[in-house]
A and B are shown apart, each in its own frame.
Chain A
């Protein structure tokens, strides 16, 4: 059982691991990608035009809910819903936040890959609470 005995001095305590996790989060929170993600989300929430475009789209969507369920939405309503959706997604603050989100995801995926390779476990899938084990359970 040589494999399972290790020097206590070389073992990282849980506190030390959590401290490393905290430091990791602080560094990530200080990246340009995370700053831009937060700022663009804040700006989007403050953007009255984007919020109004969102409300109009959601109201139209809600008004068609019953008709959608029985697949009876008219072509006119379908086009109007599409127009409102396009209007929302073309708002500058929405576009900016979407782009920021994509860039944060790209950074996180790269970091996740590095971490997974180093520890020999798939980070993203191991931390997926809907799964019990590693990838694909």
Chain B
């Protein structure tokens, strides 16, 4: 039983068997079809400079509109530009495939969490969330 636990940062002792089961689950998820598709879509999106530029432009435009909502008047030109960027995003195959593939990967992840939670009798995902970590 020596070497049963491994000390890792953040003061929690995680048994080796737990680390192995976690790693095994992650590997299987990454080898599943939804995740292979998601990772492929992610790589394709990262390599597509046009799609990247579109996402940056859209994000900047959305930010600008948000700021104008509080501080000033939104011009018709800004709104037209926003709609044009949203349309371009909606018809961009690379971005759309990324969004869909991510959704499918998340669907599988939720099913996995359901399986784990049913066996434990407690929602595992809610135990993993760090307060203030998101949003």
Chain A contact residues, CB within 8 Å of chain B: 3-4, 6, 10-14, 16-18, 20-31, 34, 104-115, 118-129, 133-136
Contact = CB atoms under 8 A, between A and B. Distances in A.
11 contacts: A12-B28, A17-B28, A24-B24, A25-B120, A26-B21, A27-B17, A28-B120, A31-B18, A118-B26, A121-B109, A124-B129
Contacts of B59: none
Contacts, number: 158
A111 B112 contact: no
Nearest to B19: A114
Given A20-B24, A21-B116, A136-B134, A112 B108 contact: no
B90 to A, nearest CB: 16
Size class of B's contact patch? Answer: 35 or more
A25 B115 contact: yes
Interface of B: 8, 10-12, 14-15, 17-33, 35-37, 39-40, 42-44, 102-103, 105-106, 108-113, 115-116, 119-120, 124-130, 134-135
Given A110-B12, A111-B14, A126 B109 contact: yes
A7 B43 CA distance: 18
B99 to A, nearest CB: 8
Contacts of B15: 27, 31
Nearest to B36: A6
B74 to A, nearest CB: 23
